[in-house]
């Protein structure tokens, strides 16, 4: 671990005893979930995907002992305690509901977005509660190292009262093919990271105004390409989240510049940094505080990265919730509030106005 100057950029692993069944064999499972779980010593006992051959390849790579024919077969495997889903949001709800019916399944980790609509997300929340099961949603940006340290700085009051916060993304996501069949693109599949982490930092927002235009690179029909959201939080905190998925030409001979930068300004200090994902690097943070650094810039450092190391925190908080009988930090009820913020953003786009969160039923 590098010099984090007293901060905790990564979580302590308190519990790692539960048997995990992985559903999905794509990039996010193979390169992030399973890489993180291997490093943390989590017990992955089975895997399944839409194509058994793909699941078998991933199982061989990560030493997973059982490969099931189908996701449904894995869910019925009584050797599995926790179902870890990496599936598209149009197919995920059915698998969640299948897992809720099985007595041996103690918890489910779902991907975000949880579902294709806020209404479906609310139903899943209520069904999980009725079944007495823990349903957690993989909002992994909260466990990015710079976001963890920034939260600690804010909680200590080192920046004073927050005045303004920004997230500025200039990067090109890999849009999954299933998104071509739906009219919602950037806000629900990329901005959801930023909107959720702003909630993590500043609480439940009061209103959002979202403007959008199409992305010239994305050839299939889409409502929201490049998006800019202005959000008001309690305490008169103003935030702006921009997702520029164009980011300039991307072609041979053109020196593209991709990044995600963030900045938080307070009455007693300023913090700024980067999210390392677009460039495969560690995220960064630098801050100055009148209260604690004498107004001088301080830069905590670490060796871990958002992808894959944040996924340790996501699965750890779920295992701890099962062990302790407490709500997971990434609980489904909280995620419905993030889904409501996304829904309010789409309502803002459609109606060309700021939308109060009180207008959105959760």
**Dihedral class, residue 270 (left if φ above 0, else alpha if ψ from -120 to 50, else beta):** beta
Same domain, 62 and 156: no
**Is a pLDDT exceeding 90 seen at residue 318?**
yes
- Cβ pair 272, 249 in contact under 8 A: no
Same domain, 278 and 134: no
Local confidence band at 2 (pLDDT 50, 70, 90 cut-offs):
low
Local confidence band at 5 (pLDDT 50, 70, 90 cut-offs):
confident
The pLDDT of 10-20, averaged and rounded, is 97
Identify the DSSP state of 298. B
**Is a pLDDT exceeding 90 seen at residue 184?**
yes
Report if pTM > 0.75. yes
- Cβ pair 300, 269 in contact under 8 A: no
Measured at the alpha carbon of residue 57, what is the angle toward residues 51 and 63, in degrees to the nearest 5?
125
The string of pLDDT tens digits covering residues 288-307 is 999 999 999 999 999 999 99
Same domain, 347 and 200: yes
- Cβ pair 303, 2 in contact under 8 A: yes
Which residues have CB under 8 Å from 339's CB, separation 6+?
113, 114, 115, 118, 121
Same domain, 203 and 126: no
User: Is 49 part of a structural domain of the chain?
Assistant: yes
Same domain, 352 and 292: yes
**Tell me, what's the pLDDT at 3?**
74
Same domain, 117 and 172: no
The SS3 assignment for 106 reads coil
Query: Of 75, 68, 64, nearest to 53 (Cα)?
Result: 68
Same domain, 316 and 344: no
User: Is 5 part of a structural domain of the chain?
Assistant: no
User: Is 121 part of a structural domain of the chain?
Assistant: yes
- Distance (Å, whole) CA 362 – CA 119: 8
Average pLDDT score, the chain: 96
The pLDDT of 157-178, averaged and rounded, is 95
Q: For residue 42, what is the domain's CATH number?
A: 3.40.50.720
Percentage, residues of the chain above pLDDT 70 = 99
**Tell me, what's the pLDDT at 218?**
95
E-strand spans in 56-126?
Answer: 66-67, 82-85, 107-110
The pLDDT of 83-106, averaged and rounded, is 97
The pLDDT of 221-232, averaged and rounded, is 97
CA distances from 258 to 84, 107, 189, 252, 266 (A): 31, 37, 18, 15, 27
User: Is 333 part of a structural domain of the chain?
Assistant: no
Count how many domains the chain has.
2
Q: Which residue has the higher pLDDT, 350 or 178?
A: 350
Percentage, residues of the chain above pLDDT 90 = 94
Local confidence band at 278 (pLDDT 50, 70, 90 cut-offs):
confident
Domain that holds residue 133: 19-139+312-321
Same domain, 67 and 126: yes
Same domain, 107 and 214: no
Q: For residue 219, what is the domain's CATH number?
A: 3.30.360.10
Local confidence band at 176 (pLDDT 50, 70, 90 cut-offs):
confident
E-strand spans in the chain?
Answer: 19-23, 43-48, 66-67, 82-85, 107-110, 134-137, 162-170, 207-213, 226-233, 237-244, 259-266, 269-275, 284-289, 355-356
Q: Is the peptide bond before 308 cis (omega within 30 degrees of 0)?
A: yes
User: Is 11 part of a structural domain of the chain?
Assistant: no
Query: Of 94, 142, 159, nearest to 317 (Cα)?
Result: 142
């Amino acid at each position: 671990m590098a010099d984090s100057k007293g901060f905790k950029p990564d979580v302590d692993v308190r519990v790692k005893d539960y048997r995990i069944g992985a559903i999905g064999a794509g990039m996010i499972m193979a390169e992030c979930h399973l890489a993180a779980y291997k490093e943390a010593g989590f017990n992955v006992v089975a895997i399944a995907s839409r194509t058994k051959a793909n699941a078998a390849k991933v199982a061989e790579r990560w030493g997973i002992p059982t490969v099931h024919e189908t996701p449904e077969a894995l869910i019925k495997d009584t050797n599995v305690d926790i179902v870890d889903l990496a599936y598209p949001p149009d197919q995920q709800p059915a698998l969640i509901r299948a897992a809720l019916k099985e007595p041996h399944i103690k918890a489910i980790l779902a991907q975000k977005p949880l579902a294709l609509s806020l209404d479906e997300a609310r139903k899943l929340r209520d069904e999980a509660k009725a079944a007495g099961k823990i349903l957690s949603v993989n909002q992994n940006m909260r466990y990015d190292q710079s976001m963890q340290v920034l939260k600690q700085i804010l909680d200590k009051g080192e920046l004073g009262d927050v005045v303004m916060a920004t997230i500025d993304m200039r990067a090109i996501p890999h849009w999954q093919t299933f998104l071509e069949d739906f009219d919602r693109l950037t806000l629900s599949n990329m901005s959801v990271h930023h909107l959720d982490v702003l909630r993590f930092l500043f609480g439940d927002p009061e209103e959002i105004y979202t403007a959008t235009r199409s992305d010239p690179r994305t050839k299939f029909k889409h409502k929201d390409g490049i998006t800019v959201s202005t959000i008001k939080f309690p305490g008169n905190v103003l935030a702006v989240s921009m997702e520029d998925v164009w980011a300039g030409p991307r072609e041979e001979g053109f020196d593209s510049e991709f990044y995600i930068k963030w900045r938080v300004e307070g009455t007693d200090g300023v913090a700024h940094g980067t999210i390392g994902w677009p460039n495969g690097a560690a995220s960064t943070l630098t801050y100055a505080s009148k209260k604690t650094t004498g107004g001088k810039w301080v830069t905590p450092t670490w060796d871990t990265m958002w992808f894959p190391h944040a996924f340790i925190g996501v699965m750890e908080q779920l295992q701890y919730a099962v062990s302790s009988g407490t709500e997971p930090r990434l609980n489904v009820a909280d995620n419905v509030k993030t889904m409501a913020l996304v829904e309010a953003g789409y309502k803002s786009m459609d109606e060309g106005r700021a939308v109060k969160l009180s207008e959105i039923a959760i």
